[in-house]
Structures are given as C-alpha cells and as structure tokens.
Amino acid sequence: DLIVATNAGLDADTYAALSAVAPTIAQSGPDAFFEPWKDQATIVGQAVFKNEVMTGLINGVDDRFKAVATDHPQFAGKRALLLGGTLYRDSVQARPPGWRTDFLTQMGLMVPDVPSLIGRDQMAEVLDTADVLIWTTESDQERDALLADPTIAQLRATTGQRHVFTTKELAGAIAFASP
C-alpha cells in the first residue's frame, strides 16, 4: 500500500496519521498545493520503483511541447501572457514565468515578467505588449464577459484576434501545470 498525497496540503499531524496506515508521499516543498507535476510524478515513480518509466513519460511530454516549437518556428520569441479567466477585483491575474508557464517556453513562446495583478489603470499598457493573450476561461460566458469589458475590447489582441480562451478542462490542467 502507498498513500499519494502530493497535492493534498498535508500538515505534520495528518502526515503522521496517514503514515501510521501506510507509507505516505506528501508534497516535497513548502507549498501545500500546486507542486509542479514533474516533481510529483518523479517522487511517485521512485516510490513504486518505476523511476525510469516515469522519467521516460515526463521526457515524452516535454518532447511533445518542444515539437510544437520545431513545427511552428513562427512562435519563436512571440510574447505570450497566461491570464486568469475572469477579472479579479477589476484586475487581470497574470502568471509569471516559471513552472506553470514552462510549456509555453518549450513551444518557443516567451513569457514576459509582468505584475501578477494588473490593475485597470495598467491593463491596456501591459496586455498590449503581448503577441497573444491566453485566458484560462472555464466557459463561453467567461469568454464573453472578458470580450465585453471595454478595456479588453480595445486591446490589440482583440482587434487582431489574438486571444486564446481555454475550456474548463484545459484551464484545470494549466492550473495544475499538468499534461
């Protein structure tokens, strides 16, 4: 038996209780949730004595993203922003460069370092620096609300049709940075 709780937000007491039942894998870093999927997969592969198999699977996913860059050289150096699917306190939430956006850089895109919360007063200036805006929307209603926003409606990405709106499933996968 093995308890896999790599994204369960275990505290020390819960870990001790679960470990009394069976060997338990918890998150390895300081964050209780949203640990990089590659880290989670690696530790699970090691725990079930399938490290080489898991490493191969991880490399296979990486190779598929890198193939996008090869197949689409026009992506090279294009600036992409990964954004929340709804406005938050009249602001846009942006993902900074890091493990949650690595898939975009593997595809040849560049993820610029912008504020994680872009206020209404900076929205047009910051968002207009990107070649493509990727919104982690979960529904057509969220997409429509964003496009109806007067500031977003005036963006270069809107007039140039350079928005990408996700589905609920894709938004979830991106939130967990999982393939």
What are the tens digits of pLDDT across the range 13-31?
Answer: 999 999 999 999 988 877 7
Distance, in Å, from the CA atom of 74 to the CA atom of 136, rounded to the nearest integer, reads 23
Judge whether 155 and 127 are in contact, CB under 8 Å. Answer: yes
What digits encode the pLDDT tens for the residues 74-131? 999 999 999 999 999 999 999 999 888 999 999 999 999 999 999 999 999 999 999 9
Judge whether 27 and 35 are in contact, CB under 8 Å. Answer: yes
pLDDT at 107: 96
pTM for the full predicted model: 0.84
- Name the least confident of 38-42, 45-49, 126-130: 38-42
Q: How confident is the model at residue 34 (pLDDT cuts 50, 70, 90)?
A: confident
Sequence-separated (6 or more) residues with CB below 8 Å from residue 112: 79, 81, 97, 129, 130
pLDDT at 178: 60
148, two tokens: 């109806």
